[in-house]
């Protein structure tokens, strides 16, 4: 039968002989067997003050006060934490978050000690639960209609929009992310080349922080973390053996998304391709998630996914007809396809990016399509460079963009912009309203992917 003394005795024994096995006795998963056992034990005996748990733990773990204090906080966590089925209760959820924060402050002290690589699995468990609960606080009503019903009856009124008030700014989650900063710094500065090492926790801590910042829609906070992490994993510590593969996949995914948000499309695409190459083949959901952002980074670069790939990952409905319209330069149809799935694209954060970037690609493709139509598919003349009438481009542009007010000045301005950006190798002969294109195999339209090397 488990008692407090037998539990502390087991912890003491493993701490002295096999600390890496302590993960069996210290889990922050609220459904874990050890949490359930300790909860039942501690709630069936007279409640002790927190100082009593501290003194009791220190009596068994006199060699390490930081670890003893963590165990004391862990016992309080097991005793008082709300079970997962009570997560709809805002009071219980906030209390659970506070208990986890107390544990994390003690875990931080343990992790800063010299030989604490064994502590990484426990830190991962604690970090995962803390971030999950802190984010849950932000999405749980601070009060319910049932709690307000006496007031509503008294004043004879109905619940109003926003009755389920939430922590929309995710203050608790932001506080939790700040707690991760010190362990993150410890992991980044670890110079041990042995495995396991504290360094192995780096990407997991960074990814957990990114999870909060993305939920807060505050990607500007990610830049410093990206810079510090890139410096830490450079040189001799760039070897894959130092970091779990799952953490490297997630880090590449988040870094790709940050760069996508910053419109650094070639960098974003390369990083998301890296994530796609690392992800396990059977992880269909993760692969699809990466592809959503990889496609968004690739389209403005003129790199299109295959129909087979889109169908395999259930993305053909959102993209197949859009790509067909984009190839022809039909911006009206491109917008129609984007707007048909507007809510979906907005939920992924890609709508404005695609709407902005694909307009330029449409102009480039429209000019090329118009040239092919006007020359019956043979744009290169026997002598001299290929040319395109700007008056003809005005006609097709009015159709493709659904705007009858477009005129020669608009088309000239767009062609100038395409030339400045590198999408078009040409010059304008104003006297004849002609676009004189480069005499080359691409007849002045370099591959879009080559414009942003």
Q: What is the CA radius of gyration of the chain?
A: 30
Q: Which of 68, 81, 80 is nearest to 15 (CA)?
A: 68
At a CB cut-off of 8 Å and minimum separation 6, what does 32 contact? none
What's the rounded Cα separation, in Å, for the pair 446 and 419?
A: 11
Phi, psi values for residue 48, rounded to 5°: -100, 155
Chain position carrying tokens 């922050």? 28
Handedness of CA 422, 426, 429, 434 (dihedral sign): negative
Cα–Cα distance measured from residue 373 to residue 74, given in angstroms and rounded to the nearest whole number: 73
What single-letter DSSP state applies at residue 421? H
For position 161, what pLDDT does the model report?
43
Angle 281-284-287 (CA atoms, 0-180°, nearest 5)?
Answer: 75
Please count the other Cβ atoms lying within 10 Å of the Cβ belonging to residue 421: 12
Collect the ranges in the chain with pLDDT lower than 70.
140-168, 235-239, 452-453
288 preceded by cis ω (within 30°)?
Answer: no
Burial code (b: 16+ CB inside 10 Å, e: under 16) for 257-293 equals bbbbbeebbebbbbbbbbbbebbeeeeeebbebbbbb
Q: Is the distance from CB of 340 to CB of 378 less than 8 angstroms?
A: no
Sheet holding 387-389, edge to edge: 387-389, 434-437, 426-429
Which of 197, 194, 262 lies closest to 226, judged by CA? 262
What pLDDT does 233 receive? 81
| DSSP code for 158 | P
Judging by beta carbons within 10 Å of its beta carbon (0-12, 13-18, 19+), is residue 58 exposed, middle or buried?
A: middle
Cα separation of 213 and 202, whole Å? 17
Question: Is residue 245 a contact partner of residue 207, using CB atoms and an 8 Å limit?
Answer: no
Relative to beta strand 387-389, strand 434-437 is antiparallel
Q: Which helix (H) or strand (E) holds 124?
A: helix 120-138
Cis check: omega of the bond before 25, within 30 degrees of 0: no
Domains parsed from the chain with CATH numbers: 318-451 (1.10.10.10)
Task: Identify the pLDDT of residue 41.
Answer: 92
pLDDT of residue 164: 44
| Terminal-to-terminal C-alpha distance of the chain | 67
Among 215, 138, 222, 131, which residue's Cα sits nearest to residue 180?
131
């Amino acid at each position: 039968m488990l008692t407090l003394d037998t539990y502390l005795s087991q912890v003491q024994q493993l701490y002295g002989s096999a600390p890496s096995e302590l993960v069996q006795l210290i889990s922050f998963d609220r459904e874990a067997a050890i949490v359930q056992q300790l909860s039942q034990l501690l709630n069936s005996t007279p409640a002790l003050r927190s100082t009593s748990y501290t003194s009791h733990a220190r009596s068994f773990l006199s060699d390490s006060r930081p670890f003893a204090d963590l165990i004391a906080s862990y016992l309080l966590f097991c005793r008082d934490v709300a079970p997962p089925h009570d997560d709809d209760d805002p009071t219980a959820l906030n209390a659970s978050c506070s208990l986890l924060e107390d544990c994390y402050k003690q875990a931080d002290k343990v992790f800063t000690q010299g030989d604490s690589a064994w502590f990484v699995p426990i830190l991962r468990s604690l970090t995962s639960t803390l971030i999950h609960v802190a984010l849950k606080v932000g999405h749980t009503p601070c009060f319910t209609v049932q709690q307000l019903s006496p007031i509503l009856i008294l004043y004879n009124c109905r619940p109003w929009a926003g009755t389920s008030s939430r922590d929309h700014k995710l203050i608790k989650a932001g506080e939790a992310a700040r707690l991760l900063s010190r362990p993150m710094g410890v992991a980044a500065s670890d110079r041990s080349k042995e495995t396991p090492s504290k360094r192995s926790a780096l990407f997991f801590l960074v990814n957990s922080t990114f999870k909060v910042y993305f939920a807060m829609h505050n990607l500007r906070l990610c830049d410093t973390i990206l810079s510090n992490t890139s410096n830490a994993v450079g040189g001799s510590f760039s070897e894959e053996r130092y970091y779990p593969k799952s953490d490297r996949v997630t880090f590449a995914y988040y870094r790709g998304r940050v760069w996508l948000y910053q419109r650094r499309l070639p960098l974003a695409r390369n990083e998301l391709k890296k994530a796609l190459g690392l992800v396990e083949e059977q992880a269909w959901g993760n692969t699809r998630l990466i592809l959503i952002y990889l496609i968004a980074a690739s389209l403005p670069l003129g790199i299109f996914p295959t129909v087979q790939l889109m169908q395999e990952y259930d993305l053909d409905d959102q993209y197949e007809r859009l790509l067909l319209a984009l190839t022809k330069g039909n911006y009206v149809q491109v917008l129609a396809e984007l707007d048909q799935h507007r809510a979906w694209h907005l939920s992924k954060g890609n709508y404005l990016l695609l709407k902005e970037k694909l307009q330029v690609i449409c102009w480039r493709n429209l000019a090329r399509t118009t040239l092919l139509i006007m020359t019956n598919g043979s744009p290169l003349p026997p002598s001299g460079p290929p040319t395109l009438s700007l008056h003809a481009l005005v006609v097709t542009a009015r159709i493709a963009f659904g705007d009858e007010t477009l005129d020669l000045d608009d088309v000239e301005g767009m062609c100038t912009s395409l030339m400045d950006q590198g999408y078009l190798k040409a010059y304008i002969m104003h006297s004849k309203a002609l676009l004189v294109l480069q005499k080359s195999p691409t007849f002045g339209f370099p591959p879009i992917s080559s414009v942003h090397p």
